Chains A and B, each alone.
Chain A
C-alpha cells in the first residue's frame, strides 16, 4: 500500500461542476502540498497546509490531521482546470508523492 493514496485516479467533469479530489496518507507529516501539473508538463504549487483550510480563488484545500486526509475542491470548474493534481506529504526530511488525479473538464 502506498503511503499516499489519491482518489479518484481519473475524473471527468462538466464545466461548472464542483470537484473534489481526495488524498489520504499513512505517515506522520509536517505539511501537505497540492500541486497542479498542466498538460504541457509545467508544475505549479497550489497549496501547502498543515492544518485547517486554505482558499485561493476557486480552489479550496482542507486537511484533517487526525484522519490523515486532505481534500482539494474546485468550484465552478472550467476547462482550463484540466490538469493532473498531485498530493505530496512532507515528513521529517522526506517528501512522498501521490500518483496524481487526472482531471478533465468538458465544456
Chain B
C-alpha cells in the first residue's frame, strides 16, 4: 500500500545509454514532481506535472524527458546519460487545492553512471 513508489531503486549504467525511472502514486493526487539530489545532498526540482500537463520545467537538459501517461504516473526518461547525471532522483506527489499542499515523496532512485 505504498503511497509513492519508484522503480528501480538502484540503477547502474554506462555513459551514453538511455534509461527510464518509473514513478507511481496511489493517493489520487493531481500533481507529481521529479527532484534531483546531487552528491552534495542539494535538492533541486526538475519537473512538475499537474493533471498530465507540464507546469514547472527548471533548467534541465532536454536529454531528460518526463512522460505522464495518466495522473498516477510520471516517468522520467534520460537519453545519452552523462557522468554528471549520477544522483538520487526523487518522485513526489501532492494535491493542488488542498490547504497543506503537502508533498509525499517516493523512496528515491540512486542512478550511477559509469
Contacts and interface: CB of A to CB of B under 8 A. Distances in A.
Interface of A: 31, 33, 35, 37, 41-45, 48, 84, 86, 88, 90, 93-95, 97, 99-100
B83 interface: no
A99 B88 CA distance: 16
Interface stretch (B18-26, B71-79, B96-104): B96-104
Contacts of B104: 45
Contacts of A43: 90, 92, 105, 108
B21 to A, nearest CB: 15
B102 A48 contact: yes
The secondary-structure label for the interface of chain A is strand
Contacts of B42: 97, 99-100
B88 A41 contact: yes
Contacts of A88: 43
A94 to B, nearest CB: 7
A31 B43 contact: no
16 contacts: A37-B41, A41-B107, A41-B108, A43-B90, A43-B92, A44-B105, A45-B103, A48-B100, A48-B102, A48-B103, A86-B43, A95-B45, A95-B48, A95-B56, A97-B42, A100-B42
Give the top 10 A-B pairs by smallest Cβ distance, nearest first.
A43-B105, A97-B43, A95-B45, A45-B102, A48-B100, A45-B103, A48-B101, A48-B102, A93-B56, A41-B108
Interface in B58-114: 58, 88, 90, 92, 100-105, 107-108
Contacts of A42: 105, 107-108
B86 to A, nearest CB: 15
Contacts of A90: 101
Contacts of B44: 97
